[in-house]
Amino acid sequence: MPNEIILIAAVTVDGFIARHKKEKIQWSQDLFLFKRQTMGYPIIMGSNTHETLAMELKGRDMIVVHRDDDPKTILGRINKSRCFVIGGGRTNSRFSSFLTHLYITPHPLVFGKGVPLFASGTPELKLYFQKLVPVSLENGIYQFQYTVDP
């Protein structure tokens, strides 16, 4: 199992990762940072997220999980020191008890409804601020990096 299990997500200021589960995300401005941070590491995603990708994510092992898959078993098969969980909301929730870090990039958008970062009923996580990474200074977009209280 990896030492670092990092949830990485672009979100709206009201906490949504997409307008609907089939949306092909084009509003995110942090793709260059996502690529740099995830390159060479396994990425875990739900099947809906996989279907919305415009292309395969080269240089990363893509692990597509389904609702019957066991998160602990999936993580136990990973031989790298770090992996990333990239959504959707239900997948984020299913892996929430294993997360060691969250890398969250709020964008200046409000959807009002959509796919939340975590599905309802997700256990509470206590986070500790670690680092602020500039994404787009002109638009006031930064990635907030947190560690998760074990």
One-letter amino acid of 145: Q
Residue-wise pLDDT for 13-51, tens only, equals: 999 999 999 999 999 999 999 999 999 999 999 999 999
Contact between 108 and 14 (Cβ < 8 Å)? no
pTM: 0.96
Yes or no: say if 143 and 132 are a contact pair by the CB < 8 Å rule. Answer: yes
pLDDT at 57: 87
Mean pLDDT of 68-81: 97
Give the span between the Cα atoms of 3 and 26, in whole angstroms.
31
Q: Would the pLDDT of 54 be above 70?
A: no
Angle ∠(31,91,131) on CA atoms, nearest 5:
45
| Mean pLDDT of the chain, nearest integer | 96
**CATH number (domain holding residue 26):** 3.40.430.10
By residue range, what is the domain housing residue 109? 4-148
Domains contained in the chain, number:
1
**Using one digit for the tens of pLDDT, what is the confidence trace for 117-138?**
999 999 999 999 999 999 999 9
pLDDT band for position 150 (50/70/90)?
A: confident
Supply the pLDDT for residue 53: 84
Angle at 106 between CA 32 and CA 9, to 5 degrees: 60
State the CB neighbour count (10 A cutoff) for residue 9.
24
